[in-house]
Amino acid sequence: MEFGPLYQRKVLLGVSGSIAAYKSAFLVRELIKWGAEVQVVMTTAAKDFITPLTLSTLSTRPVYSTFLHEEEEKYGVWNNHVDLGLWADLMVIAPASSNTLSKLVTGACDDLLSAVYMSAKCPVFVAPAMDLDMYKNEATRTNLEELTARGVTVIPAAHGELASGLVGQGRMAEPEAICEYISAHLLSQLPLHGKKVLINAGPTHEHIDPVRYIGNNSTGQMGVALARAARSLGADVTLVLGPTQYPLDLNGLQVISVVSAKEMLTAMQEYYPSSVLTICTAAVSDFVPKTAANKKLKKTAMKGTMTIDLEETTDILATLGKTKRIDQKLIGFALETNDGIGYAKDKLVKKNADAIVLNTLSTTTGFESNTNAVEVFYQDGTQQFFPLADKTELGRQLLNAVLKKFE
């Protein structure tokens, strides 16, 4: 589940007093499986159904249930409900008993869980769990409607056999279903949800013979970072990837493997028409041998010298720029060793791009480096500098800045 909407999210899991509390252990494991960091807060009643030790072991974090640290109460050490509320990226109360739902609506803060809810600034989800008649009761329906009106997302209770022996709606949704529900909801709120993004990355190899080729030192790291960032914002990402060390099953990405500049051009032209955002980070070869030998060239036959006739490859960025629609954005990358600003501005105009990202080659930037520093030049004449940062973080910064610029 890596790089999904729950990936690296800080999730505050509230557990209230319900027989369904045993499922919270499985929910902790499922949330972690989806890439989340989980902090459990439970009510005193919840401890009658599942122990804090179980949830602490599974979450690898201490479980909080009271305002004061139970072992250090005499020293006045307390659990800060405000800090907990501010820490979370999202809060999930599962199971949410009828009593807890009532407290959330009325604002009663007589336990740590309800106080944390009142302090939370993040999206809140509740997964009700109670018997059939309690779930159908008008008071419960009114509480759920009121919470929904206040922006809380209610995960519907499931239908099935209940603890009382009755059959009907009231079962807490299964942990996997809860994660899928939250994921779908979060995805629908993301800025690139349902939109197609096309990115190319890595080098191209232009074969001289079956053994030798013309290439460069590009690792594709920057392009992959941008692809992952786009995916985390809900995009349907196609990554056209040249020969690199990356696996072809990059989680959540459609990866099209290519070798040559011609293959990369063909793939980009295929997916470009349906993409709203295209980012060309690949270090595409500018030249290709006019002919490639079908057998290894032997140096004994070359008599000490070798001459290769080269011809220009088709410029991918310029080709895409010629057919760019008004509803499409096209961004190119430029790696320069001198007069970078001049080349970047010239490239911006000639290739009809909406932005050019300029990076320079050094020991800390460019190829074979885990870090990079770039400057972005936009078509409207503005520019934006991004200082040295890890490429993964830089990918997120760049994409967010571009989306804000073009919103």
Residue 98's identity, in one-letter code, is S
Residue 144's identity, in one-letter code, is L
CA 240 to chain centre: 19
User: Which of 189, 177, 190, 210 has its CA nearest to residue 293?
Assistant: 210
Element (H, E) at 348: helix 340-350
Tokens representing residue 402 in the block:
């571009």
Q: Give one DSSP letter per residue of 212-247, joined into a string.
A: -EE------HHHHHHHHHHHHTT-EEEEEE-S-SS-
Tokens representing residue 264 in the block:
């990369």
- Active site annotation includes 216: yes
Residue 87's identity, in one-letter code, is W
80, 99, 137, 216: the active-site residue: 216
CA dihedral 103, 29, 172, 123 (to 10 degrees): 50
Cα–Cα distance list, 84 to 29, 55, 154, 279 (Å): 20, 17, 21, 39
User: Which of 183, 190, 191, 122 has its CA nearest to residue 151?
Assistant: 122
Bridge pairing between strands 310-312 and 37-42: unpaired
Active centre residues (catalytic): 216
